[in-house]
Amino acid sequence: MTNTNANARNLHPIFYPAAHYDSPTSVLNDNELSTPEKRIILSSWASDMYAVESCPALREIPGMSHTIRLTDILAALRKLNGDNDNDDPPRGGGVPMRLRRPRAAAQRSTV
């Protein structure tokens, strides 16, 4: 009988990442992975499929002995995108537009 975990460790990390990495940082620090491969691993970990039912901010990855915080996974994904301003709130939208009420616009044109 073969040990499934031992066989999984021999596979490429993208096929069984929990056997190779224990955190989002360890994925980011692996120089043998391409950026798209890192993105695939981290995105799969962020999936709702791995959310802990009683605590959706945590991810429970099969084969990993501990949970991972979703915020850590998302921060790693932002680093891959070159986004270093992780703590800044999102920027506001464009210039607000004032819409005239149709009746007020019609009254002004008849005056």
pLDDT tens-digit profile of 38-79? 999 999 999 999 999 999 999 999 888 999 999 999 999 999
Residue 10 lies in a domain: yes
Range of the domain at 62: 4-86
Mapped to the 3 state alphabet, what secondary structure does 35-46 carry? HHHHHHHHHHHH
Residue 94 lies in a domain: no
Q: What pLDDT is recorded for position 46?
A: 94
Is pLDDT of 29 > 60?
yes
Is pLDDT of 90 > 90?
no
> Alpha helices of the chain — where are they, by DSSP H?
4-10, 24-28, 35-46, 70-80, 102-110
Band of residue 15 on the pLDDT scale cut at 50, 70, 90: low
Residue 79 lies in a domain: yes
Q: What pLDDT is recorded for position 101?
A: 61
pTM: 0.63
What is the tally of structural domains in the chain?
1
Residue 61 lies in a domain: yes
